[in-house]
A = this chain, B = another copy of it.
Amino acid sequence: MGARVRAIDTDAHHQLRGIADLKPYLSRHDWQRLEEFGMPRNSNLYQASGGFRGARADCFGAGDDVDPRSRIALFQEKLLDGCGVDFAILQGEYTPAVLALADLDFSAALCRATNDWTLAEWVGRDPRFRLALTVPIQDPVLAVREIERLGDHPAVVAVYAVCGSPRLYGQRHYDPVFAACVKHGLALALHFSNEGIGMNPAPTAGGHPSYYAEQYLVRPQFYQAHLSSFLFEGTFEKFPQLRVAFLESGFGWVPAFRWRADATWRSLRAQTPWVKRPPSEYMREHIRFATQPFEDPEPAGALTAVLDGMDAEQTLMFSSDFPHWDFDPPDAIVRRLPESLRQRVLVETALETYPKLPR
């Protein structure tokens, strides 16, 4: 299985050259609105460090004024050809803010245009790209409509969700979205970056962090909140085929979270009797963690305990986060992993998580 595939990148970020890229895919009404008011923006809080707009410094030629994430040739040269990545799943750079809009019809229009543009201009120009479908997940009716429209496209392998959300994703409000994911063989791909903007609550129980480093440090908690919700709402009892990819969540926290989750379940399971098994079992079967940014536990040897404590053989899969400043190429990951995990992490676990990837 996947013997000829060298690496699957579960998290790369493409970008518009400008809003005009979307014009062919929008109604006249929605285009006028976008042109007049501009694209909603991800919070400045989340602007990355280490280079122009958070991308790798080596992505820019002298005098460039185009966002390098909009250049397909850059992805081909530096990621696909340069790193030996055979498939790269795209999660759009600007879309988190689109999913934080309170105007769900406008959000849906921008999602549709994003998907159509990506399929035409990225997947259509290089068959190594795959797409996590952007859907207005806060309105499950519209979200399901978009999944029905494009979920059977061969390049669509997942539905994209972002951690900032008025409601936690385990809540039954979202069940129709997950039913549609399962129906079309799509994973759910969860990524941070719209927490505390638009209609979303503050990033933490204590409000908004001041600095990017703080947001970077507490990022795992955005995922943990939704994970806790999936576990105790019984999402995986309802959708036993659903797989959720945690992208850029880190994974050093997973063993301690599992201990606490199992202990909590043992103490309080009487209140949620529909949760039939220890949370760690649902996590092992349903939650997948992407490698980037790869965490280096201390002291040496601690990485082994983390990999064991998260069942990494089943749950860890490669991501590059190309072209962000904290990008990890496959070589950098492979060096840190025991031989027995390398093919699992680079290829096989992704194939199991995204059943529509070719094998």
Interchain nearest-CB distance for A156 vs B (Å): 25
Contact A195 B205 (CB under 8 A): yes
User: Do the beta carbons of A217 and B261 come within 8 Å of each other?
Assistant: yes
- Contact partners of A57 in chain B: CB under 8 A: none
Q: Which residues of B sit under 8 angstroms from A62, Cβ to Cβ?
A: none
Say yes or no: A213-B271 contact (C-beta < 8 A), given A205-B222, A207-B166.
yes
Residue in B207, B257, B259, B268 whose beta carbon sits within 8 Å of that of A212 in the complex = B268
Find out whether the CB atom of A270 lies under 8 angstroms from the CB atom of B165. Answer: no
Cα of A295 to Cα of B212 in the assembled complex, Å: 31
Tally of contact residues, A, Cβ under 8 A: 72
In the complex, the answer to whether A206 meets B260 with C-beta atoms within 8 Å is no
Known interface pairs A164-B206, A207-B165, A305-B302. Does A268 touch B201 (Cβ–Cβ under 8 Å)? no
* Chain B residues positioned under 8 Å from A214 (CB to CB): 168, 228-229, 231-232
A267 in contact (CB, < 8 A) = yes
8 Å CB contacts to B: which residues of A142-157? none
Q: Which residues of A are at the interface with B, using a C-beta cutoff of 8 A?
A: 49-50, 163-171, 195-196, 200-214, 216-218, 220-222, 224-226, 228-229, 231-233, 250, 252-253, 255-265, 267-272, 293, 295-298, 302, 305-306, 309, 326
Task: Count this chain's copies in the assembly.
Answer: 2
Q: Is the CB of A267 within 8 A of B202?
A: no
Residue in A168, A213, A229, A272 whose Cβ sees the most chain B Cβ within 10 Å: A213
Q: In angstroms, how far is the closest chain B Cβ from the Cβ of A212?
A: 6
Contact status of A265 and B213, CB under 8 A, knowing A222-B206, A228-B218: yes
Identify which of B49, B207, B269 contacts A167 (C-beta below 8 A).
Answer: B207
- Output the least CB separation between A297 and chain B (Å): 5
Task: Name the one of B165, B171, B259 contacting A205, with C-beta atoms under 8 angstroms.
Answer: B165
Question: Once the chains are docked, how many angstroms separate the CA of A24 from the CA of B272?
Answer: 44
Smallest CB-CB separation from A164: which chain B residue? Answer: B205
